[in-house]
Structures are given as structure tokens and as C-alpha cells.
Amino acid sequence: MFLFLQANSQEKKMKDNKSLACAWLEAARPRTLPASISPVLLGCALAYYEGIFDIRPAILCFLVALFAQIASNFANDYFDFKKGADGENRLGPERAVAQGWITPRAMLIGTFITLGLACLSGLLLLPFADWRLLFVGVAIAIGVMAYSAGPFPLAYNGLGDVCVLLFYGIVPLCFTYYIQTLHFSLLSFLLSVAIGLLSVNILVVNNYRDYEQDKAVGKRTTIVLFGRRFGRIFYIANECIALLLTLPLLLYADWWMLFLFALLFTACFYTTRELFTLEGRALNRTLGHTARNVFLYALLLCLFFTTI
């Protein structure tokens, strides 16, 4: 009998551990992680196109981007709970702290651990460039915390979109490229803006879906400030600007590459139509499709630069 109870206890413990692991995985929001991987991937492809590529700093850049985004997601989970933004009527994916899967204290510790890993990965990049990268690392760390924490949280004051453009577009792509080549280029900047705007659309869908809830708790996103109609126009504008910035490259593309980009534009069209037709929790699908489009855009440009 004792052995039977002991076996049941061990089985329950294993199930609890598995549940806890799943909770942390859910809190990391893996479906949004392509937004951090994509600009680093494209920055590496641009460096490879110029005949300069080192796998060691590339891996470190990926780690910085991933850990920084996970830290941001953890911080957002914690501070949205503290501010009461994650109520019972939440339409988005369930949040770990609000659901009681992870305690607030554990989530805060997890935030600082992942942010510390991002900073450590950044420090290991210094031998490949120079000490001025420290300022970039400090800016990333501040951005992670300032997004949803502090006396003036960016996400609560209409600046979340600017933050995404900077830290999921311009900063990771341009500095990944710089670490590889030790110089900046106009092309890397233009493409960083393009992929940054596509990543902004992930936030647009999120805020478009949560318009009523955000308005009720005083979270002043751009959609709350300017309305849902503005959100739809903003989404389309970001796609169009990204396309215009990419078009000059397509003049040099082979027919098969043009065909693949045509498929991507078709996917973007159908995702945009979802934004216009879906409501509530159904928009979580649109959120995933928007993140997918960002990743596919980066993959196609990587294919372009490595085969041209």
C-alpha cells in the first residue's frame, strides 16, 4: 500500500512539474518569437551577401534577441497582472500569472533571469565589435522593462508601436549586420524598417482585439487613442510600406523568387481580410498568421540574398 501511494505521489509530482514547464513555455509566448528571430536572420543574410559571415556572433545575436523578447513577455505578463489589465474577460491567450499557474514573484524573478541571460550574451559580443555595443545593450534592457513597467510604461501610453519598430526591426537587424561587417548600410536600414513595420502589425492585431478591455483599464494603445478603424488602416499601411521598400530588390529577382513573394503577398492579403472580418478570440488566429508572415518575409529575403 505504501509503495502504491508513493508511486501515485511521484506520478502527481511529475504531472505538476510538466504543468509548470508548460506554464513557463506558454508565458514565453513561442508563437510571437519569430518577431525577434526574423531581423537577426535577415541581418546575417545581408552580411553573407557581402561575403562576410561568422557563425559565432550570429548565434550570440540570436540569443540576445530571444532572451530579450522572452524577458519582455515575462515582464508584460507580470506588470499587466499588477495593473489589472488581464481580467477574466481577456480575449487573448491566457496569461500565466493571471491564471495562477506562476506566482507573481516567480515571474518577476524569471524576467530578471532571462534579461540577465540576454545581457550576458550581449557582453560576449563585445570582442566581435567594440565597447560601444554596451550602449545598445543598455537600451535593449531599458526597453524590455519600460515597455510595461515604470511610471510611464510605453505600452500604456501609445508608444508600444515605436518600441516594436525599434527593437524588433531597426536595432536587431542593423546591429546584427554591424557586428558581422563593422559598418552600417542604407539597405540594412531600409529592410530593418520594413521588417519592423511588419512586426508592428503583430501588436496592432493584439491591441485591435483588446480594444474594449484596454480602454476599460486605461491602457492607452494607439488603437484606444485613435480607434479600431485607424488600426485597420495602420495595418494595411505597414504592409504597403514594407512592400514598397522591398520592390526595388524584386527587380533583380528570378521568376521563382517572384512567385514565392507573390505567395507571401497573397498570404498577407488573406491575413488582412481576417482582421476586417473576425472579432474577439478569433483574432488570435490572425495574430499567429501575422507573426508567420513576418517570418516568411525574412526567410524569402534570406533566400534572395544567399542565392543572388
Residue ranges covered by each domain of the chain: 34-307
Q: What is the pTM of this model?
A: 0.90
Task: Give residue 216's pLDDT.
Answer: 86
For the cut 50, the answer to whether the pLDDT of residue 7 exceeds it is: no
Q: Rounded mean pLDDT of the chain?
A: 90
**Which amino acid makes up residue 5?**
L
C-alpha grid cell, residue 204? 496592432
Give start and end residues of each alpha helix (H) in 50-129.
55-82, 104-123
**What's the pLDDT band for 19 if we cut at 50, 70, 90?**
confident
Q: What is the dihedral of CA 264, 268, 269, 270, to 10 degrees?
A: 100
**What's the pLDDT band for 217 if we cut at 50, 70, 90?**
confident
C-alpha angle 94/264/275, rounded to 5°?
45
* Residue showing cell 526574423: 38
Q: What's the residue count for the chain?
A: 308
Class of domain 34-307: mainly alpha
Calculate what percentage of the chain has a pLDDT beyond 70.
Answer: 92
**What's the pLDDT band for 15 if we cut at 50, 70, 90?**
very low
> DSSP code of 220?
B
For the cut 90, the answer to whether the pLDDT of residue 229 exceeds it is: yes
> What are the beta bridge partners of residue 220?
157
Per residue in 93-139, pLDDT tens? 778 888 888 999 999 999 999 999 999 999 999 999 989 899 999 99
Task: Give residue 257's pLDDT.
Answer: 94
Q: Measure the CA–CA gap between 235 and 283, rounded to whole angstroms.
A: 14
